């Protein structure tokens, strides 16, 4: 859905040929981007599965096919769910394969999503293109190379800064050997920026629950990676622009921000604050989570756990010890996810925000849905509704199937794992490794669909829009 508002150009990557009966039909052009994305990710997962199946990748015994497939899919789809311990089961070579899959998957998602947004501006009508260009201030027409270089540059800089901070902390405060501190810093920086949540510590971030020098850099990387490259690029450009020497930069003038950026940044901030307050209130006295911590420690741990459902699977507290209500609240945060064209999953913040404005407008009886003095098109509203309902179906059906087939896990636990897989979050109540192999395969499919589904569905819905020369007679259906 939100990709309609991102910008224009993937067509330059595809050599132009004159239309023929066998080529360049509208249907084939619509299918090609989705096919390219799907085949690319399937190939990445296949290579990762093969490498993780090698004897050199695992300690003690070779990984089974399901273990290798699950881990490769989780890494390439930047999820973080695991059926084996990343620290003890995988060798340094296996961990390096996982890290490479995370980087390829995260970078691929950001660039593909951004470029598909660029494609839309040329595939849609002129009026829609003008609205998209006005609403984003993002990438100029025809500049694919600048998109790729921008994504790569920002990724490298962000990951490098976080890696340096973490390396220094691990080496000086926790006494880790320099080589291991560097490896740990790089691994967690890449995993955080790509919203993967993989950790080479068996206890994840729980040993650092009250350490702001570890938790805050990781949280910053998660937020930056998950907010979406179009937003980051727009804010970067506005920060460098002055209208006059005595005028403050456009970055501090919200009126210069696009609707997409204001929605993404604003709702992200609201969810972070609400999540932090909720976790403090719900878990502040829980002896298994925040209870033993002092005041600042509680706030830091609550903020960290509010950031991670953006969708990074790190946890600084024991997820299995959370209250059932906190599990459900986290389900909601994971389902919403992060920004479009970023490394986060879920139905995306903009989808959630659009639906919220639709409900608000309907309650007020407004004929149009207005966001920041801009009217949202009917197509955007329908696309948001479609993405959300498909997401609900993708969660409900697997949850029902797994719950009916086993009595070992509660509904709360199964729902948590399914939402985590679909939203590519990676948070877990600890039951993933104990699931039956076919349950794990279901989660593999969910991770793949959750990673590519919102991108391809949103793009496909936008590209399928067509004009009719007639309209059917109007009717009414009783609602409610």
* Per-residue pLDDT, 461: 53
| Angle, helix 178-193 to helix 212-227, in steps of 10 degrees | 40
The pLDDT of residue 114: 54
Total number of domains constituting the chain: 1
Q: Evaluate whether residue 288 is within a structural domain.
A: yes
The verdict on residue 219 lying in a domain is yes
> 168: pLDDT confidence band, cut at 50, 70 and 90?
very high
Phi, psi of 341 (to 5 degrees): 60, 30
Q: What is the mean pLDDT of residues 384-393?
A: 90
**Of the given ranges (116-120, 298-302, 331-335, 474-478), which has the lowest mean pLDDT?**
116-120
pLDDT tens-digit readout, 353-382: 999 999 999 888 888 888 888 888 888 888
Question: Is residue 470 in a domain?
Answer: no
pLDDT digits (tens, 9 = 90+) for 415-460: 999 999 999 999 999 999 999 999 999 999 999 888 876 656 555 5
Would you say residue 212 lies in a domain?
yes
Question: How far, in whole angstroms, is CA 122 from its chain's centroid?
Answer: 26
What are the pLDDT digits (tens) for 28-55? 444 455 666 777 788 889 999 999 999 9
| Domain region containing 129 | 2-15+28-240+252-462
In a domain, 148, yes or no: yes
- Considering the entire predicted model, what is its pTM? 0.83
d(Cα 47, Cα 197) in Å, to the nearest integer? 21
pLDDT at position 236 = 80
Does 21 reside within a domain? no
Determine, yes or no, domain membership for 473. Answer: no
In a domain, 480, yes or no: no
């Amino acid at each position: 859905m939100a990709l309609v508002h991102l910008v224009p150009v993937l067509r330059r990557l595809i050599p132009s040929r004159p239309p023929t009966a066998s080529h360049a039909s509208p249907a084939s052009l619509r299918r090609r981007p989705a096919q390219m994305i799907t085949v690319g990710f399937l190939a990445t997962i296949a290579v990762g599965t093969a490498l993780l199946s090698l004897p050199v990748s695992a300690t003690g015994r070779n990984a089974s096919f399901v273990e290798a497939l699950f881990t490769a899919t989780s890494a390439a789809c930047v999820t973080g769910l695991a059926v084996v311990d990343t620290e003890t089961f995988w060798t340094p070579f296996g961990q390096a394969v996982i890290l490479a899959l995370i980087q390829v998957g995260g970078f691929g998602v950001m660039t593909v999503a951004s470029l598909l947004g660029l494609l839309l501006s040329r595939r849609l009508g002129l009026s829609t293109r003008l609205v998209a260009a006005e609403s984003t201030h993002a990438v100029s027409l025809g500049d694919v190379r600048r998109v790729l270089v921008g994504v790569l540059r920002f990724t490298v800089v962000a990951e490098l800064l976080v890696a340096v901070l973490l390396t220094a902390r691990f080496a000086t405060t926790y006494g880790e050997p320099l080589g291991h501190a560097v490896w740990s810093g790089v691994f967690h920086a890449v995993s955080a920026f790509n919203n993967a949540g993989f950790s080479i510590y068996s206890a994840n971030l729980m040993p650092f629950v009250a350490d702001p020098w570890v938790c805050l850099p990781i949280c910053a990387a998660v937020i930056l990676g998950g907010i979406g490259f179009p937003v980051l690029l727009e804010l970067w450009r506005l920060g460098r622009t002055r209208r006059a020497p005595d005028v403050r930069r456009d970055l501090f003038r919200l009126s210069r921000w696009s609707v997409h950026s204001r929605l993404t940044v604003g709702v992200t901030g609201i969810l972070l604050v609400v999540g932090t307050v909720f976790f403090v209130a719900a878990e502040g006295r829980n002896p298994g989570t925040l209870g033993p911590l002092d005041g600042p420690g509680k706030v830091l741990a609550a903020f960290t756990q509010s950031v991670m459902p953006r969708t990074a699977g790190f946890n600084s507290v024991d997820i299995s010890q959370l209250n059932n209500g906190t599990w459900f609240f986290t389900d909601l945060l994971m389902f919403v996810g992060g920004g479009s064209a970023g490394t986060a999953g879920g139905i995306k913040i903009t989808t959630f925000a659009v639906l919220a404005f639709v409900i608000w407008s309907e309650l007020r009886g407004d004929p149009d849905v207005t966001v920041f003095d801009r009217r949202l098109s009917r197509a955007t509203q329908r696309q948001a509704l479609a993405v959300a309902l498909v997401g609900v179906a993708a969660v409900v059906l697997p949850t029902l199937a797994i719950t009916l087939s086993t009595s070992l896990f509660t509904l709360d636990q199964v729902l948590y794992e399914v939402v985590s897989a679909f939203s590519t979050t990676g948070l877990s109540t600890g039951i993933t490794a104990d699931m039956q192999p076919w349950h794990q395969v279901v989660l593999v499919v969910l991770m793949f669909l959750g990673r590519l589904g919102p991108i391809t569905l949103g793009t496909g819905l936008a590209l399928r829009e067509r004009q009719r020369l007639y309209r059917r007679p109007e009717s009414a259906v009783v609602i409610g």
